Structure 1
């Protein structure tokens, strides 16, 4: 992926922000039946783009500006442009936030600590959330579930099956990404399941994705459950062949792409 547009799409967090928007649309569609895109979906897109771009800059700084991964290429070579993307995205998200009632933001309030303290120490000299043994993937799954499901559905749906499926989906993808980050996590002293049991980690991710498809088959009408079963099944296949040796492009395109499979299957 040498083309600048592809680098911005897959390493500039546009791909992951599109996945967040698509998953938030999936939740409102499955719970309320409304297939339209709403301001809450765009809020999730810009908030995700802004937060992930900011996180990448903080991670780059923590690594003292010398990380070797492809995912740091944009922030290393285009620091001003990356900062501009983060600032503009967060500004647009804040502007969209003015359209919602204050009471609707309780999931966002709960997601903020998981997001902020994932890379920032809980207290001076203390650990970050990602430093806590084996829990790094849980914080990611919680934050994504709150933002792409609980927030967008709001009072119309409350807690529902899709909430559990969303947490399970994100947990599976986060587990797969931990297989990529083993070297970095070991260098930083972070204990993860992937670092100690890489094969078990992949198997667990495949089981979780398969469960998503089977539960959806039992819960949703065939017109929805059929495409979802295929989507989660394809995701399970991608997870089963995932290896750190495939390189960062594989993770950026295909593993992140697992998140887009369920909403795209519904759309098609």
Structure 2
């Protein structure tokens, strides 16, 4: 029963929606943003539920033994229900945020385009043939929603964007490194389906360089935030970078969905957890 509940949280995309909320919260804290946090959090949570259930509902079965795909095949109605509930919830919270319709629409379009190649229509299928930068695209979407979008919602002025740029670049390259591991695991299937990306094209030697260079860049921009944020916050930003650098060999050897969709996805919010714990302890 415990495993069934854990699978529900993980594979119904509630867990990844919590990751998104944690990252948004940390962006608001680091950048000291003033915005309608409650309604924006509701919008992010439900839109993440909607988009991920939509994505996985359209994902066909695989010859690879995937616990998530097997769960999805058994829970098709639940995935569709999650998509509908997520859509209704995000629409409800959007009503309270309608004055920011332009940056929100940008997030919705970007999110849709990532899953669009899975739609059974030639108008969308061709996107898979040209999606060489799909890993870059996904990393940008996550960075946009969790970092840039909160700043746009707070009407952050261009004169105050240095720390925003540093945090955005940090987030992008950390997420990109994590996405590389996902695409490395799935690259044979991507090749079989004709999905093109840098990860399917590059040899292992160059892929390793890209992976570690991304993490070095992420670490560099985390350190660049040091004058503006407390030292422990910088440490919290560096912690997931270090863990991601250390788990590469393990993740490539152990391809369980639990390793990827719980542990690796969880690394995206690891910094926010440390940050929150530090504040809860009094920010000493």
Taking structure 2 as the reference length, what is the TM-score of the superposition?
Answer: 0.81
Question: Which has the larger displacement, 223-232 or 181-190?
Answer: 223-232
> Using the alignment, how far apart are the partners of 1:44 and 1:19 within structure 2?
10
Structure-2 residue corresponding to 1:257:
266
Kept in 2, the 8 Å contact 1:25–1:35? The answer is no
Map 1:66-105 to 2 at 5 A: 68-102=65-99, 104-105=100-101
Structure 1 residue 119, shift from structure 2 partner: 3.1
> Using the alignment, how far apart are the partners of 2:109 and 2:198 within structure 1?
23
Give the 3 Å change call, closer, same or farther, for CA 126–3 of structure 1 in structure 2: closer
Structure-1 residue corresponding to 2:39:
39
Stretches of structure 2 lacking an aligned partner (at least 5 in a row): 278-284
Map 1:86-235 to 2 at 5 A: 86-102=83-99, 104-121=100-117, 124=122, 127-154=125-152, 155-156=155-156, 159=161, 160=164, 161-195=166-200, 196-220=202-226, 221=229, 222-235=231-244
Structure 1 residue 139, shift from structure 2 partner: 1.5
Taking structure 1 as the reference length, what is the TM-score of the superposition?
Answer: 0.86
Structure 1 residue 52, shift from structure 2 partner: 0.3
Give the 3 Å change call, closer, same or farther, for CA 125–83 of structure 1 in structure 2: closer
SS in structure 1 at match of 2:142: helix
SS in structure 2 at match of 1:117: helix
Structure 1 residue 223, shift from structure 2 partner: 3.1
* Cα-to-partner distance string for 1:32-63 (whole Å, 9 max, x where unaligned): 16799532122111111110011100122xx5
Question: Which has the larger displacement, 108-117 or 27-36?
Answer: 27-36
Residue-pair matches, total: 264
> Using the alignment, how far apart are the partners of 2:67 and 2:151 within structure 1?
35
Structure 1 residue 10, shift from structure 2 partner: 2.0
> Using the alignment, how far apart are the partners of 2:207 and 2:66 within structure 1?
22
From 248, 252, 267, the counterpart of 2:257:
248
Structure-2 residue corresponding to 1:13:
13
SS in structure 1 at match of 2:116: coil
Kept in 2, the 8 Å contact 1:238–1:255? The answer is no
CA RMSD of aligned residues (A): 2.8
Kept in 1, the 8 Å contact 2:68–2:257? The answer is yes
Stretches of structure 1 lacking an aligned partner (at least 5 in a row): none
The answer to whether 1:28 aligns with 2:28 is yes
Kept in 2, the 8 Å contact 1:168–1:212? The answer is yes
> Using the alignment, how far apart are the partners of 1:148 and 1:40 within structure 2?
11
